[in-house]
Amino acid sequence: MTPAEILDSLFGRSHRVESGAGGLLHGEGLLAHAAGPATRVSLIGLTQGAALGVDGALALAQRVLSVVQAGERNPILVLIDSGSQRMSRRDELLGLNEYLGHLAKTLMLAEQLGHPTIGLLYGGSAAGAFIATALATRVLVALPEARPAVMDLPSMSRITKLSLELLRDMASSTPVFAPGLANMELMGAVTERWDPGRPLDAQLRRLLDRFAERSQERRDQRAAARGGRLKAAAIAERVEREALRDG
């Protein structure tokens, strides 16, 4: 689906979105309800497979902070079809990792202050751009054509000095080593897939109802239930118990 098709399926004609340089978008939409007033949803996005650099991270972070400062606690929906972080000398010298971290922290701040934050991955995303947008939201949903990757296997091979053949073999049985939507679901990073053959507005309303019930489980808990990470949740819970006991 294209961004226009996604927005129409979510909000009909009740949305206003502006596109900017570098594949950025921002705006808002009204999510209709059968009974009661519509829910105002703030929108930001990284589209067209664009890489996320210093300027884009600052622009998206500013939009998130503007929503937070308005004080309405409306949901924030992040549309994602990106490359990785921008691999340029300028961005690296300016400290791109700090800008990506800043963007992630604005989304986490919004969640802490009562804004449901939802990432909608409908295309590709990788590395720092994936971490600072999709993984920084409280819940990440995906359409079937999504192509997420924290790191592709050739890049992983160059960094770890392990052969590509060995990594492919490991990835066939261990989702930690493997890119792709199915593996991200096993790892708990992706909460659920949305069905593009059905109206997306109903699927978003159902998700927001779960926010209202505070029934969202942690990603490590989902990963344990799905068999993608067998120890992370138990270790995290043990660390929390020990910290509370010592405190």
240 falls within a domain: no
| Residuewise pLDDT in 10s, the chain (247 residues) | 899 999 999 999 999 999 888 899 999 999 998 777 889 999 999 999 999 999 999 999 999 999 999 988 999 999 999 988 888 899 999 999 999 999 999 999 999 999 999 999 999 998 889 999 999 999 999 999 999 887 778 888 898 899 999 988 888 877 776 778 888 888 888 999 999 999 999 999 999 988 776 656 688 788 778 887 888 888 888 998 888 886 6
168 falls within a domain: no
178 falls within a domain: no
58 falls within a domain: yes
Q: Give the pLDDT of residue 227.
A: 80
227 falls within a domain: no
223 falls within a domain: no
10 falls within a domain: yes
The sheet that has 39-52: what strands, in order across it? Answer: 15-19, 24-31, 39-52, 76-85, 117-121, 139-142, 192-193
How far is it, in rounded angstroms, from Cα 195 to Cα 188? 18
229 falls within a domain: no
What is the value of pTM for the model shown?
Answer: 0.87
| SS3 readout for the chain | CCHHHHHHHHHCCCEEEEECHHHEEEEEEEECCCCCCCEEEEEEEEEEEEEECHHHHHHHHHHHHHHHHHCCCCCEEEEEEEEEECCCHHHHHCCHHHHHHHHHHHHHHHHHCCCCEEEEECCEEEHHHHHHCHHHCCEEEECCCCEEECCCHHHHHHHHCCCHHHHHHHHCCCHHHCCCHHHHHHCCCCCEECCCCCCHHHHHHHHHHHHHCCCCCCHHHHHHHHCCCCCHHHHHHHHHHHHHHHC
**How many domains does the chain fold into?**
1
- The tokens of 86 are what? 């921008």
Residue range of the domain that includes 131? 3-146+190-216
The distance between the two most distant Cα atoms of the chain, rounded to a whole number of Å, is 58
- Quick one: how far is CA 178 from the chain centroid? 18
Phi then psi for 36, rounded to 5 degrees? 100, 175
CATH number of the domain at 197, please. Answer: 3.90.226.10
